[in-house]
Structure 1
Amino acid sequence: MTDIELVGNALCLDFANNTVNARPVARRDWLGTPEEAMTWSAAAGRPIEDPDGLAAALPEARRLREAVFRVFEALAHGDRASRPDLGAVLAVHGDGVAHGGLEEADGVFRLAWGAPRTVRVLLWEVAASAVELLTHGPLDRLGSCPSCCWVFLDVSKNRRRRWCSMTTCGSRDKSRRYYAGRSS
């Protein structure tokens, strides 16, 4: 798992997508054990530097992941996000705001947390990413892969992205259609 493809175009979407290997039924959960969570966070470029409390925080990490996924999956399909899921994201975000501070970079302030990077910091960053996307959009560019159900932000110029990734689901779908056409 050292080479993951981050295709969501937002931290919250990558967290919801990439910490499980498939949806709707996952065969692998990268938030199953502290070691797996450490491996995923490092591969995603968000390494957890201090594993203290990691095992105890994994149930909350899984709850946040599923709430984020359900919120953005609903929005990608033109549905309303559920209040309990929005509340779960907002609760983690509120905790992060209470423990964070503002840092200035290039004339813009952003919410930040000091070292060391713990699992709590990762969850606060995920929740902050979700709130940023929910409040500033562009929500009309959310999409859902028809093959694996991952959610993504379509940043393509022509707004025609169909899959999470052309190299995995897109290629598989095109091959399937090609061979189905040849056998008819």
Structure 2
Amino acid sequence: MYLSTGIFMSKERNINTLPLDGGALCFHFINTVHSWRGINLHEYLDSYATLLQWCNKVNILNGKSRKALQQYAAKHAEAADKALQKMKRVRELLYHFFSAVAAQEPQQMQEELLHKFNTVLSAGLSHIRFTIKGTHLEQDWEEDAADLLSPLWVVMKSAYDILTLEDRQRIKECGQCGWIFLDHTKNNKRRWCSPVTCGSMEKSKKYYHKKKQGSEG
């Protein structure tokens, strides 16, 4: 595959090759499209079964819960597809929400966007339960093998944790592809989701334009 930047992309795109450059679960979820800017060359969550593969990749829900969801989805294909489409809509919502946060202009966020985010967040957090394990109380999730949206609730808890526990100035949007990531660098100057992929593409663009301007001059 050839991109306009002059970089060849030969690696097969699937859940196994999807990089986890977000630095947080909710950002990994947002970053399950090839790009939010320009042409999106690949949809990583192309089926509910693939979604469960992603859950395994990022280690959410235990194996028993994932297997139960897989079996239920296989018997209720229409419901599984409906749940997947809802999660994709929430993924887009999360992208626009955290894109606004990354811009560090919360006052510019649309009221409708904030309302939709709060609605999904409330739904997600309502599924949290505490259980006694040994001598300790531990956070857990209500068990419902028929709740095909349960992976989403874990994602929303991650979004809550990011907003309440992390420095929001470290929430960034990649200038090349639009992926959202948490900047863990000491100087907080990271610009791309990955210096190897988007960083190289940006540098190649600058080199190409500089060379073109030189030849025209």
- Show the counterpart of 1:84: 112
The amino acid of 1:164's aligned partner reads C
Residue 23 (structure 1) aligns with? 36
Alignment partner of 1:75 out of 93, 101, 107:
101
Q: 1:64 aligns with which of 83, 86, 90?
A: 90
Q: Residues 83 and 10 of structure 1: is their aligned pair in 2 closer, same or farther, counting only changes over 3 Å? A: farther
Distance in 2 (alpha carbons) for counterparts of 1:112 and 1:13: 21
- Report deviation, 1:110: 6.4
**Most deviating of 43-52 and 166-175:** 43-52
1:119-152 CA distance string (max 9 Å, x none): 4221011111112222333111121111101111
Matched, 1:169 2:195: no
* CA deviation string 1:101-121 (max 9, x = no partner): 13589xx97642156786422
Percent identity among equivalent residues? 29
Taking a change above 3 Å as real, the CA distance of residues 74 and 114 of structure 1, as seen in their structure-2 partners, is: same
- Give the TM-score normalised by the residue count of structure 1: 0.82
Q: Matched residue of 1:167: which SS?
A: coil
Letter in 1 for 2:36: R
| Structure number with bigger Rg | 2
Once residues 112 and 151 of structure 2 are traced to their aligned partners in structure 1, the CA distance between those partners, rounded to angstroms, is 21
Match of 1:159 among 188, 195, 204: 188
CA RMSD for the aligned pairs?
A: 2.9
The TM-score normalised by the length of structure 2 is 0.71
Aligned equivalents of 1:110, 1:87: Cα separation in 2: 30
Within 5 Å, give how 1:93-172 maps onto structure 2. Answer: 93-102=121-130, 111-113=139-141, 119-172=148-201
Structure 2 unaligned runs (5+)? 1-13, 73-78
The size of the alignment, in residue pairs, is: 182
Once residues 109 and 160 of structure 1 are traced to their aligned partners in structure 2, the CA distance between those partners, rounded to angstroms, is 39
Contact 2:27 2:181 survives alignment (8 Å)? yes
Contact map agreement 2:60 2:154 (CA 8 A) in 1: no
The alpha-carbon distance between structure 1 residues 28 and 36, as it changes in their structure 2 partners (threshold 3 A), is: farther
Compared with structure 1, are the counterparts of its residues 155 and 179 closer, same or farther at alpha carbon in structure 2 (3 Å cutoff)? same
In the alignment, the residues of structure 1 paired with residue 172 and residue 96 of structure 2 have an alpha-carbon distance, to the nearest angstrom, of 13
Equivalent residue number for residue 38 of structure 1: 52
